[in-house]
Each structure stands twice: as structure tokens, then as C-alpha cells.
């Protein structure tokens, strides 16, 4: 094999297990993490724990933007028909700059996310992909269980009851998600609500109606039932 194998690590259980399996499957794996600047600080601890477990250094890519809020303010765009601008600037552009035409790219989509893998291949037919978790039939709960067996403490955002480990205040979150952010990260909630008003765009729909965060009913939504994807689309039990 002449090209590299890039395993995209995102400080989540799925990408951690996918990376570990890629290291067993391939010899020339490069592990890459896109640092958005907006994720919980505990993600760095998780990254270092996983790096030790992998026995391989993780390459960290970082854009010139401070975080997702910085993108929203400078680009004057949050999300909409064109997708989430923060995903484009903090993840997509970094992948485009780093990848090579002969790379195999490993992504941590789990078995219940097969539709996302199909969408990725349709959107980026030029990329050679390996959806290693889907091939092995591993679901997200399996990945969480396997991480628990390794004794690696999951990132704080999971422990707070969120389904995903995205930036604190993700524009793809629903009403329940944002109310959970309001509870645990009031400063992030306040800043996001101020940016919304400044730009004139409401991220969240409540009862099907676009609703600014500062008008959102604190009891609206159910964060446990909301799944948020922040990826490049925007877009046997042994390890």
C-alpha cells in the first residue's frame, strides 16, 4: 500500500474504537484530530488518554478561527441551507488541506449510522473510505462499552448526559440540547443568544417555529432524544 491511512479522531467513543481497529488493520495509520477550539477542555485529557492507548501520536489540526463562535461572528453566518459554516471552516477545510488523493480515510460512523456513510460516499466519491465500525456491525453502545472495558474515562459532555461530544453550544442542536447547555454552560448559552440576535438568525425550532435562544421555553425539547451530527458532511467484541 503506497498511500496513508488517515483515521479521523473526534474525541468520541466511536472514533476511538474505529482508530484502534484501524491500527490493527493497517500499518501506516495517521491519527488526526481537528481542534475546533470550542469543545470542552476535558477533551484534551481524553485525547491524551487515547493517545497512550493507541501507542501513536495524534496529529492536531487547527484553523485560524478561535472557535465556532468566532466563525459565526466573522462570517456572519451560523447555519441554514448552506449547512453549518463552523463545520466548513473548522473541519472540512482542514480535511481538504491535509488529505491526499491516495489516502484511505477511516471514519467512526457506527452501524446505526450507515445512512451517513452512504451520504458521505455520495458527496465525496473521490475519497477512499473505510467505515470499519459498520463493517463489523458495531453500534454506538458497543463502542461505549468497549471504551469502558479499557478503563478510559469518557469526556465530560457524555457524563453530562449529552448524546454527542461536539462544541459547547452546537448550532445543530435542538431545543432540548440548548436548554441543557443553558443549565450547564450559561455563559455559552448567553453568548450564542447574543450572536443570534446580532446576525438576525435563530438556530433552533420550537414546535416547528424558528425561535431565538433568548425566547426559548426553558422546558422545551428533550436532549436525550436529540441526535446531533457534526462531521465532514454537514454531513466479536474484541478490540
For residue 162, the model assigns a pLDDT of 87
For residue 228, the model assigns a pLDDT of 54
Give start-end residues of each CATH 3.40.50.620 domain in the chain: 5-158
Buried b (16+ CB within 10 A) or exposed e, 121-160: eeebeebebbbbbbeeebebebbbebbeeeebebbbbbee
Alpha-carbon distance of 104 to 127, in angstroms, equals 7
CB count within 10 Å of CB 62 equals 13
Q: What is the pLDDT along the chain (239 residues), one digit of tens a residue?
A: 458 999 999 999 999 999 999 999 999 999 999 999 999 999 999 999 999 999 999 999 999 999 999 999 999 999 988 889 999 999 999 999 999 999 999 999 999 999 999 999 999 999 999 999 999 999 999 999 999 999 999 999 999 988 888 899 999 999 999 999 999 999 999 999 999 999 999 999 988 899 999 999 999 867 665 555 555 544 334 54
Alpha-carbon distance of 159 to 157, in angstroms, equals 5
For residue 235, the model assigns a pLDDT of 39
For residue 164, the model assigns a pLDDT of 80
Minimal CA–CA distance to 11: which of 27, 25, 21, 41?
A: 41
Task: Supply the DSSP symbol for 127.
Answer: S
For residue 165, the model assigns a pLDDT of 85
Fold adopted by 5-158: Rossmann fold (3.40.50)
Q: Could you tell me the pTM of the whole model?
A: 0.89
Coil, strand or helix: which one is 33? strand
3-state helix, strand, coil in the chain (%, to 5): 45, 15, 40
Amino acid at each position: 500500500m503506497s498511500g496513508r491511512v488517515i483515521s479521523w479522531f473526534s474525541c468520541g467513543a466511536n472514533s476511538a474504537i474505529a482508530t484502534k481497529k484501524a491500527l490493527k488493520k493497517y500499518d501506516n495509520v495517521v491519527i488526526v484530530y481537528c481542534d475546533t477550539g470550542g469543545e470542552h477542555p476535558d477533551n484534551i485529557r481524553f485525547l491524551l488518554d487515547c493517545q497512550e492507548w493507541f501507542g501513536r501520536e495524534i496529529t492536531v489540526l487547527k484553523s485560524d478561527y478561535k472557535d465556532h463562535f468566532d466563525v459565526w461572528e466573522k462570517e456572519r453566518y451560523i447555519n441554514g441551507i448552506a449547512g453549518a459554516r463552523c463545520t466548513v471552516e473548522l473541519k472540512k477545510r482542514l480535511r481538504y488541506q491535509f488529505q491526499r488523493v491516495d489516502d484511505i480515510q477511516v471514519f467512526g460512523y457506527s452501524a446505526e449510522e450507515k445512512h451517513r456513510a452512504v451520504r458521505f460516499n455520495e458527496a465525496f466519491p473521490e475519497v477512499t473510505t473505510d467505515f470499519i465500525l459498520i463493517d463489523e456491525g458495531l453500534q454506538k453502545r458497543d463502542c461505549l462499552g468497549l471504551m469502558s472495558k479499557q478503563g478510559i474515562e469518557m469526556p465530560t459532555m457524555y457524563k453530562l448526559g449529552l448524546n454527542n461530544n461536539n462544541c459547547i453550544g452546537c448550532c445543530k442542536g435542538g431545543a432540548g440540547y440548548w436548554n441543557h447547555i443553558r443549565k450547564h454552560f450559561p455563559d455559552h448559552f448567553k453568548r450564542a443568544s447574543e450572536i443570534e440576535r446580532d446576525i438576525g438568525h435563530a438556530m433552533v425550532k420550537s414546535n416547528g417555529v424558528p425561535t431565538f435562544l433568548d425566547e426559548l421555553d426553558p422546558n422545551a425539547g428533550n436532549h436525550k432524544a436529540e441526535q446531533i451530527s457534526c462531521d465532514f458532511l454537514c454531513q466479536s467484541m474484541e478490540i
